[in-house]
Amino acid sequence: MMMNLRPALFGLLTLLATATTHGAEFNWKYATVVPPNFPVFGTGANRLAKAIETMSQGRISVKVYGAGELVNAFEVFDAVSRGTVEMGQGAPYFWKGKIPAAQLLATTPFGMTAEESNAWFLYGGGMELWREAYAPFGIYPVLGGNTGPQMGGWFNKEINSLADLQGLKIRVPGLGGEVYSRAGATTVNLPGSEIFPALQAGTIDATDWIAPYNDLAFGLNKAARYYYWPGWHEPGGTIEVLFNQEALDGLPDDLREIVVRAAEASGHEVLADFTANNHRALQVLLADDKVELKQFPPQVIEKFRELTSEVIQELIDSDPLAARIHQSQTEFFDQVTAWQRISTQKLMDARMPANDQPAEAKSEPIDNK
């Protein structure tokens, strides 16, 4: 008798579980800046949505939309602000037209690493300044991870001197883009999905994106030959999860805590994902005979450093919020650098015998050819 009831009981439990999911108290939309299921960004958004649904026991349902499915990549900020979506994903420098100071929140050329940047946000006053910057737009930002150190980008011609930058058409956002402009290049800002066709068609001559894992996913090695390092322009790129403030305030206290804490926790997975997969992807790229790994010449890097100082100075002179953010970052950076020099930096030097150090540790270019 009991055996005959089990299929019915199982079906009832399945029906109840389905009803719980579809009968969520809150049905949220989450817009991302990358194509659906794109490595790290897209897959991370999926994990976050699932975590929120599970932790809330189905009281919140989160539907993830890739760029272009509901809104375009560069429309995410406005969509969250208007309440078209309750959640969004992005990088602060995408919104520099609305908040010039946001560029400093994203990353600073030759600036803080992911580890240092995360520490500033969480324990150096960074989050308070960030939320102040976004509050007028009805948006509550949460630190959703960091890319870690990026690559210098993909180029269809070699960069042997400053002269090679003149007239170069390059996709690069934020402060790094302004530095390239002052160095003589022409910069454009394209969402990720438009980079490959633009590079392949010759609409642009070069592009930054992120690092090997995501660069390989977009197939950028099929559109350009020279892969440059280091990623001076983005030593650690901030990733953000944006919440519509009104939607967040409309949640009960327990659910509000769940969505914010879940977003914060997802950031740890993001950086780990990049760290775990970039080295694997790099080996795949280097196995491509058409790819050449190149180091920016010292004189080019030095010019970038000089122009970075000019760009930041003009920004902070023109924007009081940017000046406050920069002052806070500078004070924190000066303090943390003293520790990094005798900890991480010296450990990296010491953990490998001098004779076994790779070429980059000896200040020689890495070259796969």
pLDDT tens profile 100-152: 999 999 999 999 999 999 999 999 999 999 999 999 999 999 999 999 999 99
Reported residue count of the chain is: 369
Distance CA 107, CA 121 (A): 12
Please check whether residue 198 lies inside any domain of the structure: yes
Confidence of residue 353 (pLDDT cuts 50, 70, 90): confident
24 close to 58: Cβ distance less than 8 angstroms = yes
Point out the domain boundary residue: 245, 276, 307. Answer: 276
Check whether residue 301 and residue 209 sit in a common domain.
yes
Check whether residue 114 and residue 74 sit in a common domain.
yes
Q: Check which CATH number belongs to the domain holding 65 and give it.
A: 3.40.190.170
Check whether residue 96 and residue 229 sit in a common domain.
no
Tell me the residue range of the domain where 339 lies: 153-235+291-362
Q: Answer whether residue 247 shows pLDDT above 90.
A: yes
Q: What confidence score (pLDDT) does residue 356 get?
A: 59
pLDDT tens profile 27-51: 999 999 999 999 999 999 999 999 9
pLDDT tens profile 154-189: 999 999 999 999 999 999 999 999 999 999 999 999
- CA dihedral (334, 339, 345, 346) in degrees, to 10, reads 140
For the residues 22-31, what does the mean pLDDT come to? 89
Ranges of H-type helices in 124-192: 126-134, 174-182
Point out the domain boundary residue: 247, 276, 305. Answer: 276
Q: What confidence score (pLDDT) does residue 301 get?
A: 98
Point out the domain boundary residue: 251, 276, 301. Answer: 276
CB atoms within 10 A of CB 172: 25
What is residue 39's three-state secondary structure?
coil
Distance CA 294, CA 230 (A): 9
Q: What confidence score (pLDDT) does residue 7 get?
A: 41
Check whether residue 66 and residue 25 sit in a common domain.
yes
Distance CA 264, CA 267 (A): 6
pTM of the model: 0.88
Q: Answer whether residue 361 shows pLDDT above 70.
A: no
Check whether residue 97 and residue 191 sit in a common domain.
no
Please check whether residue 81 lies inside any domain of the structure: yes
Please check whether residue 367 lies inside any domain of the structure: no
Distance CA 286, CA 292 (A): 7
What is residue 89's three-state secondary structure?
strand
Q: Among residues of the chain, what percentage have pLDDT more than 90?
A: 88
How many separate domains does the chain show?
2
287 close to 149: Cβ distance less than 8 angstroms = no
